[in-house]
Structure 1
Amino acid sequence: MGHLSTLAGVVALTSMFVPEAAAQSCSGVTGRFQPKMGSGYKSSVLATGLRNPRHIVVDSAGNLLVAEGGTQGVRRLVLQEQGDIVCVQSNTQIASGSTNHGIALSADGKTLFTSNLASVTAYSYDAATGQVGQGKQIVTGMSFQGTHPTRAIATSKWSPDTILVARGSQSNVDTSTTQQSAARSMIKSFSISQGMQTAYNYNTGGEVLAWGLRNIVGMSEDPAFGGFWSVENQMDDIKLNGRDIHNDNPAERLSYHGVLNATENRYKGLNYGYPSCVPAWDPANVGVSGLLVGGLFKPDGVPDVAADECASNRMTGRLHFHAHTAPLDIKFNKNSTAAYIAFHGSWNRNPADGYRVMRVDFANGQPVHAVTSKTAQVPVMENGNISGCPNNCFRPVGLDFDQKGRLFVSSDTSGEIYVIYGA
């Protein structure tokens, strides 16, 4: 990897930017950067000084739980209203040890899940007091191999006993993932109750929801329609017929995986092409006749497939994004009229791209834009100047909404949490 509910009064949000779009600041909290906000949005800095904050989740009492990368564990930020904004009342560590990336809560809010590069751990959790119980591993066997240590996790309100766990490839082109038995570059589903009794081994247990997905780093369930979605970081440094086309290809991808508790989910178990087939962002640069945005093609140096295999027998994404912008999380507003995506930003293109939060509009459970659209993203929060990225800018990773429709955003490189408010 290159690695709000829509609020009342926001009727038409365009791609224009508001010069002065910062809300008032929390006392004693000063952010390092001044984000550029899309029309109708304001932001404030909620917290600074965190250590590599990755994914985040708001609990049933409105507190913010933050998975800090490495061996930092989970922090609980108790929030309080301060005028027109929200600020931190207290900040404590509630779970120690390696958390790496992923964090989720059960549908009833009483179980906290975290992931690291090897396993998924469950803790009993009391949102009122912040007390957690003894951790129990419910999924194991994902020992780190290669370049993608993140293990995105997500739970479901439509299927409350289900947890999804994504495991990425072990290299840029992981040839062994042409076989499901590799148990990489895929999303698997597991029964929480069964995992609490006897831990699953990721390699042999659970059910494959989707595979052929290079590196899924964010997943989310549509609250109104129940559909499950993922965002994917695609291949780096690709060539076609010896020609370097990596700067604008392949596309990053938003994929649909159906409703988890549906009697028949026709999306379950589908293959999305990796490592042999990748989606186009700039078809003209690829040079394959008839190729459209999101269409799959076979680059150099990947496992061979039949000539029509990419076009005919692999699943395409539902929307596609600029190459190497690294989407790391996706969250829906309360009424599912929009999904918000955190683009961590590129390392594998020149000039750099990403480093922003964007909105994709939805209707009836699907994006309003066509699969081939290149204009589906509406700016929400961006760096004013990305020349200092990745180390001297905010770099969004995790997203979550509270019940008031405020969108929280973590920035790992700057150690900050932002809040985005509607107009």
Structure 2
Amino acid sequence: MVNGAALAASFYAAGAVAQTCSHVLVPANAQPVVANGWKAQLVAGGLTRPRSLQFDTTGALLVVESGKGISRHRFTDNGGTCLQSNHSHMLVDLTTLNHGLALSADGRTLYASSAEAVFSWPYDARGGAVTGSSRTLVTGMSNNDLVTRTLLLSQKSPGKLLVSRGSSEANRDRASLLSSGLSQIRVFDISNLTADDSPPYNFNTDGTVLGWGLRNSVGVAEHPVTGGIYAVENSVDGVTRNGKDIRENNPGEELNFLGFLNGTATENQGRNFGYPHCFAVWEPSEIPDHDGLVVGQQFAVQENNTLTDEVCGREYVPPRLTFPAHYAPIDLKFEPREGELGFVTFRGSFDRSSPVGYRIASISFDPASGEPKAEPDSHDSLTDIISNKDLSACPDKCFRPVGLAIDDKGRIWFSSDATGEIYVLQRTTSPGQFVAPESGAGGDKDSAAADIKAAMGWWTFAVVVAAFGFCAV
């Protein structure tokens, strides 16, 4: 008698993740812990602080190596997570590059950033080379700390380049002024830079302010259906409230909604999100004089005659979702077809007695509205995908995820800058996949076939039958 569920599971394993890798790299530290339904594999090592990732039109992986430049990597793909690097070379040697990376829709222009400026190069993906000199598109962004300048090229509004710029704690007073250009995300229409000698934009005076009061929004993404712009925010460290140290669990990190680039008006677009005056609550009970504050509401670090929790709630935009303090979100990417999931890298804490973060998690979104499914006061909007086995070993003996890229097979690639590694993640079960019944459950051949059809879908079932046949065991 055939066990339909077991047969379905074996067919899925054969078709989706079917091989044993002959060449497997060993991580620098302990093997990661991967959630049920996923598998992970280290596919590259020895890089110099790898940050943002981008696939070119040939499927090669481009990597910003902070303090070195942009490297290009090709892999022998044996399916699943069984990949082996077969060629790597430096594409751009420029030591000032540190994080930002983007590629035009036609794949012919490459963009990257330093702490001061955004650059572009003509790019030949098939030849694997830049084919001309660099051009400066945006300048005027230097500051002493928080030097990443994340880049996002809009797919919904061609020609629009988003640039995110943080600011250091020493610049908190300046960051409260819109004219400073600090702690802001601005949008630049690079289609207007038509002539080779067109002067670059100045970040402080040009472009459209999409949001400000954003301490360090490193991860920025566009929802693939609605075009809504979201950013993940690294909040402040070392916070006291009315004289009490609350740094362990407050303030929370944030997911902020910044509106649209197509002219659709939203009440939050261009507004201030709180920094340096107001921050998101994560653990209300640990905030002195919290007066009924809940997760996600804004609070003042020092209440006085002009700044109170009430003022924070009225004058500044609260996050759409809040995450645990010190998780340090770095990148955000949407599942590319319908945007049902957003994936976030959390590089991990440094200002906390017990390490937290050091993982990748997903957020569920409604593809029609482009909104997170969790409510703004949710305490559990994240679903872990991969994390470190022993957080007490962090940060020195951990992978620290940074950049994300999703390939045309739906696999998630991510960089770990601290260890110089690139990993690949892949689902081992499909959403809604048939779950095997308890041992001993079964049925006749017809009911087993029905189980398999329900699990795999008619088309996949037909392919499996054609390839393998179907017989009772």
Q: 1:307 to 1:392 in 2, by over 3 A?
A: closer
Q: 1:137 to 1:44 in 2, by over 3 A?
A: same
The alignment's TM-score, normalised by the length of structure 1, stands at 0.91
Q: Answer yes or no: is 1:366 the counterpart of 2:365.
A: no
Amino acid at match of 1:366: E
Q: 1:172 to 1:249 in 2, by over 3 A?
A: farther
> CA shift at 1:301, angstroms?
9.3
> CA shift at 1:79, angstroms?
2.5
The equivalent residue for 2:453 is none
Q: 1:272 to 1:387 in 2, by over 3 A?
A: same
Distance of 1:419 and 1:146 partners within structure 2? 34
Structure 2 residue runs of 5 or longer lacking an equivalent are 1-7, 10-16, 429-473
Distance of 2:238 and 2:206 partners within structure 1? 33
The equivalent residue for 1:114 is 112
Q: Answer yes or no: is 1:52 the counterpart of 2:49.
A: yes
- Tell me if structure 2 keeps the 8 A contact 1:279–1:293: yes
Q: Answer yes or no: is 1:404 the counterpart of 2:406.
A: no
- Tell me if structure 2 keeps the 8 A contact 1:188–1:206: yes
Pairs within 5 Å for 1:301-312: 305=307, 308-312=310-314
The equivalent residue for 1:267 is 268
Amino acid at match of 2:109: T
> CA shift at 1:105, angstroms?
1.1
Distance of 2:257 and 2:112 partners within structure 1? 24
Q: 1:52 to 1:303 in 2, by over 3 A?
A: farther
Distance of 2:364 and 2:171 partners within structure 1? 32
Pairs within 5 Å for 1:279-290: 279-287=280-288, 288-290=290-292
Q: 1:24 to 1:253 in 2, by over 3 A?
A: farther
The equivalent residue for 2:129 is 131
Amino acid at match of 1:62: G
Q: Which residue among 142, 145, 168 is the counterpart of 2:166?
A: 168
Distance of 2:126 and 2:224 partners within structure 1? 24
Structure 1 residue runs of 5 or longer lacking an equivalent are 1-8, 11-20
> CA shift at 1:307, angstroms?
5.9
Amino acid at match of 2:407: D
Amino acid at match of 1:258: G
1:305-344 residue CA offsets vs partner (Å, 9 max, x unmatched): 3663201121111111000110000001122110000000
SS at match of 1:57: strand
How many residues of Structure 1 are paired with residues of Structure 2 in the alignment? 403
Distance of 1:399 and 1:83 partners within structure 2? 19
Q: Which has the higher strand share?
A: 1
Q: 1:122 to 1:114 in 2, by over 3 A?
A: same
Deviates more, 1:125-134 or 1:302-311: 302-311
The equivalent residue for 1:325 is 327
Deviates more, 1:328-337 or 1:123-132: 123-132
The equivalent residue for 1:86 is 83
- Tell me if structure 2 keeps the 8 A contact 1:107–1:156: no
> CA shift at 1:267, angstroms?
3.1
Distance of 2:378 and 2:20 partners within structure 1? 36
The equivalent residue for 2:297 is 295
- Tell me if structure 2 keeps the 8 A contact 1:139–1:195: no
Q: 1:307 to 1:368 in 2, by over 3 A?
A: closer
Amino acid at match of 2:160: T
The equivalent residue for 1:142 is 141
Distance of 1:302 and 1:29 partners within structure 2? 56
SS at match of 1:174: helix
Between structure 1 and structure 2, the one with the greater Rg is 2
The equivalent residue for 2:352 is 349
The equivalent residue for 1:14 is none
CA RMSD of aligned residues (A): 2.1
> CA shift at 1:195, angstroms?
4.1
Deviates more, 1:41-50 or 1:193-202: 193-202
Distance of 1:234 and 1:351 partners within structure 2? 18
The equivalent residue for 1:6 is none
- Tell me if structure 2 keeps the 8 A contact 1:227–1:258: yes
Distance of 1:405 and 1:239 partners within structure 2? 43
> CA shift at 1:302, angstroms?
10
SS at match of 1:270: coil
Distance of 2:210 and 2:339 partners within structure 1? 22
Pairs within 5 Å for 1:372-387: 372-387=377-392
Distance of 2:121 and 2:427 partners within structure 1? 34
Report percent identity of matched pairs.
38
> CA shift at 1:271, angstroms?
0.8
Q: Answer yes or no: is 1:415 the counterpart of 2:420.
A: yes
Q: 1:279 to 1:243 in 2, by over 3 A?
A: same
Distance of 1:302 and 1:92 partners within structure 2? 56
> CA shift at 1:34, angstroms?
0.7
- Tell me if structure 2 keeps the 8 A contact 1:62–1:79: no
